[in-house]
Structure 1
Amino acid sequence: MRTFGGIGGAGDLGDAFRTYEGRNIGEFWGKRFAGFTPEGKWTFFNKNGVAVPNAQINTSPFRDQTDLALIGNAIPKYYLSLGNTFTYKKFDLTIFLRSKLDFDVLNTVALSYGNKFGTQGNLLNSAFTKYAEINDTYMYSDYYLESGSFLKVDEVTLGYTFKFNDKAFRSLRVYAVGQNLALLTGYSGNDPDLIQDTGLGQEINGRSLGIDTRSPYPTTRQFVFGVNVGF
């Protein structure tokens, strides 16, 4: 067994991944959220399904002893894309859609900035709404795992072509291109498309799969206008 994906920061976080012989890369192993005490302290399920305080959770690396469980997988099961060009008279429309489905993301933005316990810095609004019950330090568990599935409208091109009866100047096409136009997802953090979902990089290790690291700059929506001239 090897542990990867140290999350960093304050609190009881540890490693996000464990890779056991015969198991898949990208598996989240962690605590299973059981609820909060009346005082807002975390409780988690042990291996027997009993809710206990964090201090009683066994984080042993041995699968027959640990209370940590397989709680998700960071690698999408499905990668989908669809592109097509439609024409009507002098109009042309090209659309490209892309999707990744059935994978999990660890929302460390919510973990770090959605917890008002002992924090005097910037916080998310959700720290006082969705996560208002928390009165304890940061804890890594399936509480912060979310589905990262998404459908993105990557690019749309709309053009119109003018035809001319001139040997030297046959056509003029004007077009507009929009990129990163829309994102359909249930994930509450940043664009899930920015989150690493393969173990391929300088090392094949799966160390940072599926972790919203808080560092990517948000993607921008871009527009391009152009002209094609046919001689």
Structure 2
Amino acid sequence: MRQVAIHDRHSANPMLVVIGQPKVDPGSVGEHRHRRNMLCWSESGTIALHAAGREWLVPPNQGLWIPAGILHAVEVRQPGGVRVVVFVDDHGPGEWREPTGVAITPLVAELIVHLDENRQRGTLRHHAESLLLGVLEPVPNTVFDVPIPTDDRIRGIADALIANPADPRDLDEWAFAVKAGVRTISRLFTAETGMTFARWRTRVRMRAAVGHLAAGASVGAAARAVGYRKPAAFAETFHRLTGQHPGIYRSG
């Protein structure tokens, strides 16, 4: 018996499909595109997305909107569960034309889980899909994306700090290391990233700290891992950039 016949015409046409993976192991997927808009939710793992010269970090309790057609690469940094919401046709926030952080509130999380675990079409599912579309909100003032410079003179500095955010070298020492003037390095960072060297490094450190917190590190341990001797100073900086205490991202 075809159940579609007893539903209204709207409930028979899905607006989205949820694909859940309970365990995604560390690894990477090279550059590719998707034909449809997607929302990636790292339910318990941590993944990074590279696109358009930027790198987004997706920790637990955050999501990332990936518009259709965007060339991107994915790296799983912390294993865990991931759910991907694939939007049919042009459903989703049309004004989000680049990767965008999404707030995974308790309501959004419950809706995604419900739609993943209850896939039968019907009026109730249609309402749940509509509600999910209506409550998606971008994450304000996020530090989860970092612009990656292309100039060789500062790309090496950027790569080194991303690999080791706790590196204590200041701008003078970095300029000496790459055999360039301090003013040149300072100017290039501003021109290529839209922020000063100090601000860019702070952003890298806060983003890296989220990964440590998501892996279960304490606030103090996360602070030390990204170059802060005093957890209070780290927590103050984190709150200034994100509006949240770092403990909210700690796994468990």
Question: What's the TM-score, normalizing by structure 2?
Answer: 0.21
Determine which structure has the larger helix proportion and give its number. Answer: 2
Determine which structure has the larger strand proportion and give its number. Answer: 1
Question: What's the TM-score, normalizing by structure 1?
Answer: 0.22
Q: Max radius of gyration: which structure?
A: 1
